[in-house]
Amino acid sequence: MLNNKLNLSPDIFTKKIESKLMRDGFGHGLLEAGEKDERIVVLTADLKESTKVNYFADKFPERFIEVGVAEQNLVTIASGMANYGKIPFVTSYSIFSPGRNWEQIRTTIGIDGYPVKIIGAQSGLNIGHYGVTHQGLEDIALTRVIPNINVIVPSDYLEAKKATLEMAKIDKPFYMRLPRIESPVYTTEKTPFKIGKANILTESKKPEVTIIATGLMVYDALLAYRELEKSGIETIVINMHTIKPLDTETIIKYARLTGAVVTIEEHQVIGGLGSAVSETLAQNFPVPIEILGVKDRFGQSGKSKELFKEYGLTKENIEKAVKKVIARKNS
Amino acid sequence: MIKKTVEELEEISKEVRQDVIKMILKAGYGHPAGSLGMVDVFVAMYYDVLNHDPKNPNWVDRDRLILSNGHICPSRYAVMAHSGYFEHKELMRLGEFGEILQGHPDKRFLPSLETTSGPLGSGLAQGSGIAYSARMDKKRFRTFVITSDGEHDEGNHWEAVMFAAKNNLSNLTMIIDRNNIQIDDFTENVMPLEPLSDKYKTFGWSVLEVDGHNIEEIINACKKARSIYENPTVIIAHTIPGYGVDFMENNPNWHAKAPNDLDAKKAIKEIRTMQGRISPYGE
């Protein structure tokens, strides 16, 4: 059953569930954070509206800075502003930031730990028709490998908003990835959100597998959970909204409890959530793991649903992986 | 600080040049050409131009000096030691484990540096971010950024050139070390930069040019830059790489090569005899 303590949406498995943009959650959160803290400045690389910093820009034009299509400049100017004492949020698409400007992020933000918040929108396969050049599938790997940088992957509108408000208060660099499409708002205002603390979405007396999901895949994991439950397989679904610092304590605890893990992310399987979970478990409590994600391939154009099916990111894929990992555990 | 005369500053430059040679010899690593070439600029900055306080290095209203081409840090370190930021003996621990003077500038180990730097092309953007923020808060300090000519190959640099001009960052001054060399060859062979002055003018900057070994000219140009309110100013400092050591001057081979003992002795002797002001030892 669902974890009551989390106050998830009562509409979670109904058609009434509302769909919203995580980008809007970020944009609204940023506006609120900007009202609370005058040090917050926002920079964008010619993507004001699609990264939803227009709300902030309209309210605080004097704290909004357009740098043009120049992602290296985006983060290095932000580095200077943070060096001075500002709290910069910088927005672009994940393929360009942290894609194009990785070394600048490492050198001018990472090493000295400046509180620059890097927002990579339009990440993942879900951006669909834009095609391979714009589908950022490597951003989690690129950012989590840099010391000092925290990595957040929210799973719905409200979580994106809460994450934005939280990171604004923390004197450290952050990367947050956001998808393009709307997604079900399965949490509520009352659902707790703490950076570095995973949310355990389901409870069970005899769970067989732990499903650890991040971003858009969390809701699919919940749908898979429900289907599996119908066929008598109980699972624990974990929303790993923070990839770094990783909640290793929770991962180890549930690996012990269930003895098998499935991870799913809309990202390359190399270097992402599955890798991070595997690194933790291999060193602490090895159990069979199935890693779902994009398996060392490039994307292509198509509808989100078509792409998720082609690349193995559906609830059916999760169900299959759960059954496979149970067989491995029992063999 | 009571300001020194130009002649006194020239004497300090000679001492700094000797330190630079000794530091790079001891470390067995470094960039002697660019380091020697920029000694006079650093001396002018720390002894005259900058509004700073070595005993209170993080004073909020200090002028900022960003070193974008971090690889010439031996000369900045040496001038910082001479002007009281840390003890002179630290210079001989350049690049050693756990020491404050890391091989490239590292603010974690030496917090009185403005930035951690080395990878080229990012310093002007960082300085622009500081200058932009300062103007937002109506701060009066000036941000100086030292860049190399070789790093003008980097796209990030030109992105920042456009940003600073767009925003009329008149509280920002860049000093280019125009020494015409980079690692592989002369700049004009690797990737031609001329007409550099015209490039900056068409990009919307005020341009001043100085002899990078004439301390008085450097000081005066920085003063003039403070009085230009329309746009950012670039001072193109024409320097001689390896300045003060005959066999290093204008030779790209000394961009990133440490001298051996014999080279170093010869180099130090040449520096001591510069302009005939000091007699060489042992002669």
pLDDT, tens only, B238-265: 999 999 888 888 888 888 888 999 999 9
Burial class (CB in 10 A: 0-12, 13-18, 19+), A327: exposed
Query: Given this model, what pLDDT does residue B1 score?
Result: 60
Task: Using an 8 Å CB-CB cutoff, list chain B residues near A147.
Answer: none
The pLDDT score that the predictor gives to residue B273 is 66
Q: What is residue B251's predicted lDDT score, i.e. its pLDDT? A: 84
- Per-residue pLDDT of A163-174, as tens digits, reads 999 999 999 999
Average pLDDT over residues B99-110: 97
- Inter-chain contact A78–B117, Cβ cutoff 8 Å? no
Structure tokens at A211: 């499903």
Chain A environment of B121 (Cβ under 8 Å): 72
CA distances from B76 to A323, B85, B109, B112, B221 (A): 63, 11, 15, 12, 20
Please indicate whether, in this complex, the C-beta atoms of A80 and B118 are within 8 angstroms of each other. no
Interface test with B, best of A41, A84, A102 (most B CBs within 10 A): A84
H or E element, residue B210: strand B206-211
The rounded percent of chain B whose pLDDT value lies above 70 is 96
Tokens 């979670």 correspond to A12
Query: What pLDDT, on the 0 to 100 scale, is given for residue B276?
Result: 47
Q: pLDDT tens digit string along B137-177? A: 999 999 999 999 999 999 999 999 999 999 999 999 999 99
| Given A71, A166, A265, A290, the catalytic residue | A71
Backbone angles phi, psi at A197, to 5 degrees: -120, 110
Instruction: Return all residues near A251 (Cβ < 8 A) that are at least 6 apart.
Output: A198, A212, A238, A261, A277, A280, A281
Yes or no, beta carbons of B132 and A70 under 8 Å apart? no
Question: What pLDDT sits at residue B281?
Answer: 41
Q: Is A239 on the interface with B (CB under 8 A)?
A: no
Q: A122 to chain B, minimum CA–CA distance in Å?
A: 23
Q: How far does A76 lie from chain B, in Å, by closest CA?
A: 5
Query: In angstroms, rounded to a whole number, what is the distance separating the alpha carbons of residues A291 and A217?
Result: 13
Stretch A158-182: mean pLDDT, rounded? 98
In 3D space, the residue among A276, A270, A210, A217 whose CA is nearest the CA of residue A243 turns out to be A276
Give catalytic status of residue A62 as yes or no: no
Inter-chain touch A70–B159, beta carbons under 8 Å: yes
pLDDT per residue as tens digits for the range A13-61: 999 999 999 999 999 999 999 999 999 999 999 999 999 999 999 999 9
Residue B278 has pLDDT above 60, yes or no: no
| A54, B170, A112, B33: CA torsion to nearest 10 | 140
Mean pLDDT in residue range A285-305: 98
Average pLDDT over residues A288-300: 98
pLDDT in tens, A258-291: 999 999 999 999 999 999 999 999 999 999 999 9
Q: What is the mean pLDDT of residues A141-167?
A: 98
pLDDT grade, residue B271 (50/70/90)? confident
Per DSSP, what are the bridge partners of residue B147? B176
Alpha carbons B215 and B14: distance in angstroms, whole number: 12
- How far is residue A266's CA from residue A293's CA, in Å, rounded to a whole number? 6
- Cβ neighbours of residue A297 under 8 Å, at least 6 residues apart? A311
The predicted model gives B106-130 an average pLDDT of 97
Rounded percentage of chain B residues whose pLDDT exceeds 90:
83
**Mean pLDDT estimate for chain B:** 93
Tell me whether 0.85 is exceeded by the ipTM.
Answer: yes
Query: Which domains, and CATH codes, for chain B?
Result: 6-272 (3.40.50.970)
**Residue B274's pLDDT is what?**
64
Q: Quick one: three-class SS letters along chain A?
A: CECHHHCCCCCCCCCCCCEEEHHHHHHHHHHHHHHHCCCEEEEECCCCCCCCCHHHHHHCHHHEEECCCCHHHHHHHHHHHHHHCCEEEEEEECCCCCCCCHHHHHHHHHCCCCCCEEEEECECHHHHHHCHHHCECCHHHHHHCCCCCEEECCCCHHHHHHHHHHHHHCCCCEEEECCCCEEECCCCCCCCCECCECEECECCCCCCEEEEECCCHHHHHHHHHHHHHHCCCCEEEEECCEEECCCHHHHHHHHHHHCCEEEEEEEECCCCHHHHHHHHHHHHCCCCEEEEEECCCCCCCCCHHHHHHHCCCCHHHHHHHHHHHHHHHHC
pLDDT tens for each residue of B2-13:
789 999 999 999
For residue B127, the distance in angstroms to the closest alpha carbon of chain A comes to: 6
Query: Is residue B275 pLDDT above 90, yes or no?
Result: no
Residue carrying the six token digits 């169900």: A319
**pLDDT tens digits, A200-246:** 999 999 999 999 999 999 999 999 999 999 999 999 999 999 999 99
CA distance A41 to B136: 10
Report the share of chain A in percent with pLDDT over 90.
100
